[in-house]
Amino acid sequence: MKKILISALTLFSLNTPLAFAEENTAEALLYQMNEASQQLNYELSYILIKKNSIEPLLYRHAVSEEKQLAHLVYLSGPVREVIRRGDEVSYIEPGVEPFTIESGNMVAPTIPLLNSDVDQLNDFYDFVQVGRAREAGVACQVLRIVPKDGQRYSYVLWVDEKSKLPLRADLVDRDGEVLEQYRTISYAVNDHIEQALSGLNKVKLPEVLSLPKGQVDNADWKVAWIPNGFEPKELNRYRMNDTDRMVESQVYSDGLFSFSVYISQSDNLSLKGQLVRQGRRTLHSFVSGEHEISVIGDIPPATAKRIAQSVTFSQNESTTQ
């Protein structure tokens, strides 16, 4: 009886009210994983496996003085680090001056869905519990995050039954091919990690950059079709250094994947028609009249092509000025 009570209390501590939906245990598990990944003090040592490379990484997370701290270290090659202190993220890379931006998310190869908004994803993805398996030496629950419209990739997740941390994530295309794998080799959950990471609060890091806001209020082009759930971010205009061409771009994200649309005036250097996928990243570019249209992002080739071909222009074209 005592064991049953302890188990029930542990489950309750990692749940949110929506997670008690009996009809969707996969959704409940995602809520538990999301809260555990943001509230526990832990360390994940894992490898990112791509088609032609293997990258070893170390990710540590802690909550200190009610502020989330995280530290990602690339374990091979030149020194590369990403440090998060609350809503500030600093990047340290070779050949580039270290910089800090205001953000709650690292732009880095962390295990997917560590900080995702489950409520937002629930509108556009189905969560399917597959069964049990073993990863990093422990028992895991396996679930799939599958797009409802079939227009984007899916994930298969291995979640530790005890800690609720994600220990493996496979990025899968619509044909079932694995494009990337995040696989944990070892991990730890303890308060010593919080003591170690608390030192980040005393480290002198670059001041937060003031990022320029979008330079374009309205464009003379529009994307007529995007998959449901992708929301546009700021619209930007800039001049390319190597070609001197003016380019307008807009980023779209659904909280899990993202892509960008680029519009410029066509010239002799324009790609007349190209559709390339390398791992998760797709590039589709073609010329339409006087414009070169490119879509680049973490989406399937067919989706990128449909987005690009849906772009239309008004009579007053800002990219030609």
Closest CA to 178 of 69, 279, 321: 279
Say if strands 258-265 and 125-135 run parallel, antiparallel, or are unpaired: unpaired
Predicted confidence at residue 172, as pLDDT, reads 97
Predicted confidence at residue 295, as pLDDT, reads 96
320: three-class secondary structure by DSSP:
helix
- Residue by residue, pLDDT tens for the chain (321 residues) are 434 433 443 444 444 444 343 445 899 999 999 999 999 999 999 999 998 899 999 999 999 988 999 999 999 999 999 999 999 999 999 999 999 999 888 999 999 998 888 999 999 999 999 999 999 999 999 999 999 999 999 999 999 999 999 999 999 999 999 999 999 999 999 999 999 999 998 889 999 987 666 556 678 899 999 999 999 988 888 887 666 778 899 999 999 999 999 998 887 666 667 888 998 999 999 888 889 999 999 999 999 999 999 999 986 554 444
Domain boundaries, the chain: 26-202, 221-313
Closest CA to 141 of 243, 26, 229, 278: 26
DSSP per residue, 166-209:
EEEEEEE-TTS-EEEEEEEEEEEE-THHHHHHGGGGGS--PPBP
Name residue, tokens 């028992």. 139
What burial letters (b/e) apply to 25-61, b meaning 16+ CB within 10 Å? ebbbbbbbbbbbbeebbbbbbbebeeeeeeeebbbbb
Residue type, 211: L
**218 CB contacts (<8 Å, ≥6 apart)?**
235
Residue type, 202: K
**pTM of structure:** 0.85
Look up the CATH superfamily of 221-313.
MucB/RseB, C-terminal domain (3.30.200.100)
Predicted confidence at residue 132, as pLDDT, reads 96
Name residue, tokens 């992708």. 230
Predicted confidence at residue 316, as pLDDT, reads 56
Is 182 exposed, middle or buried, given 0-12, 13-18 or 19+ CB atoms closer than 10 A? Answer: buried
Residue type, 116: S
Tell whether domain 26-202 is in CATH 3.40.50.1240.
no
Fold match flag (26-202 vs 221-313)? no
* Count of CB atoms situated within 10 Å of the CB of 270: 19
Residue 47, phi then psi, degrees to nearest 5? -120, 145
